[in-house]
Copies of this chain bind each other. A is one copy, B any other.
């Protein structure tokens, strides 16, 4: 048998991939599992999105190859969206790169800037893909610890004391997954200064801006952030379009061009129909966002109640699709969640999926209907 590349040796199967197989087999056995672990939006996108896709199917060129840079209309819509939502002015011709989901952007950016042996600062806890992609391109993950004590923000003073000469890139992700922590503009400015001082490429992965968040922020709103900062954004969570695979990378032309050099060798432009749907999404009026957030608020109230029953503590000052709960002292995250799965048929994420700093925590998703959350509450309040 042909041997795998060495780069795969350290990349394990994603926790959820294994665990969801187990959950599926429990369901097959007839267990009434309620999954509150996964952040796959269950709400519907704005109606105009589906209409725009349908209408595009009559266009003469809809089935043909599209440009890597997307249709001008899509880039213009991103541009207007960034101006309206983040007060950030972008050049639609040079500062926006459409992506088939922001996840692929993590690979493109890493391929574009990382050499073997380069170090990458990665949040712990954080999205596991930053780590696996860093390893896949032969670079070295260096974790920076986030903790409740520092509001899940990187401790820049501590980072300054560590060797940084080999660090080429730093992943940040505010609003933060899994904790829901937010960073304000002052804090983002400190991060940019840090990145400038050490010539580190600072990439903000920003898909949770519009979920339960009063002040959506882009890293590019920081003065002078260009030249060291890039931002990934996505329609997946914002518009409940995770399956569509639409994201974008925004930043200064030179950096975007470098990433495009990788992307143009890896795939092709996005399906025109999907781009047309994305344009419609980006033009959605503010009232729609308010409606979605009302739904998420109701769900979050229930998750808070669930966490109260579980004797977990949590911050109410968070944003995004998840609630992050601190387990009763001494509890082990995997044991705790396995117990819930096997005894109560409730599947919830152990915090350790996101790194060692997630020990003692659990994460619940808001992509679950009120009726299901009520059923979870009922099960927890009922003795078996």
Contact = CB atoms under 8 A, between A and B. Distances in A.
A4 B113 contact: yes
A270 interface: yes
B65 A243 contact: yes
A80 interface: no
Nearest to A114: B5
Interface stretch (A101-109, A141-149, A183-191): A101-109
A255 B5 contact: no
A2 interface: yes
A245 B261 contact: no
A245 B267 contact: yes
Nearest to A68: B17
A288 interface: no
Interface stretch (A38-46, A310-318, A334-342): A38-46
Contact of A111 (B5, B115, B271): B5
B271 A243 contact: yes
Which of A240, A270, A273 has most chain B Cβ within 10 Å? A273
A271 B258 CA distance: 27
Q: Which 9 A-B pairs have the closest CB atoms?
A: A132-B265, A2-B201, A40-B65, A65-B242, A104-B267, A107-B266, A40-B64, A64-B243, A4-B258
Given A11-B261, A104-B267, A133-B265, 12 more contacts: A2-B201, A2-B255, A8-B112, A11-B265, A13-B261, A54-B57, A64-B243, A100-B267, A111-B136, A116-B116, A245-B268, A271-B271
5 contacts: A3-B113, A8-B261, A64-B242, A107-B266, A136-B262
Interface of A: 1-8, 11, 13-14, 17, 40-42, 44-45, 50, 53-54, 57, 61-66, 100-101, 103-104, 106-107, 111-116, 129, 132-133, 136, 138, 168, 199, 201, 227-228, 236, 240-245, 254-255, 258, 261-262, 264-274
